[in-house]
């Protein structure tokens, strides 16, 4: 396993909180697992709906995942929406 995969395994044993949840997204993207990252983003948005930064963070990471799977135009539009807010 690569280091990112190993870090994901270790993170699974850690208590879930805002920091570890965002770190999981970053690791999933680093492991080239954008579809799993997109699924995890939905859970983060639900779990931390009261945190206004969650919307921006989720949009940013979603744009990276979309770009990774070849959805460049959607990724760009998502980033444009962040800038316009």
The yes-or-no verdict on residue 85 having pLDDT over 70 is: no
Identify the pLDDT of residue 83. 85
Identify the pLDDT of residue 8. 94
Q: Which residue has the higher pLDDT, 75 or 2?
A: 75
**What's the pLDDT tens digit per position in 29-53?**
999 999 999 999 999 999 999 998 9
The yes-or-no verdict on residue 1 having pLDDT over 80 is: no
Identify the pLDDT of residue 56. 92
DSSP the chain: --HHHHHHHHHHTSPP-HHHHHHHHHHHHHTT-HHHHHHHHHHHHHHTTT-HHHHHHHHHHHHHHHHHTT-HHHHHHHHHHHHH-
């Amino acid at each position: 396993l690569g280091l990112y995969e190993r870090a994901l395994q270790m993170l699974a044993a850690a208590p879930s909180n805002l920091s570890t949840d965002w770190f999981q997204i970053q690791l999933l993207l680093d492991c080239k697992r954008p579809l799993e990252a997109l699924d995890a983003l939905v859970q983060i948005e639900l779990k931390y709906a009261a945190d206004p930064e969650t919307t921006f963070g989720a949009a940013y990471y979603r744009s990276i995942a979309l770009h990774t799977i070849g959805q460049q135009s959607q990724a760009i539009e998502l980033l444009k929406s962040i800038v316009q807010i």
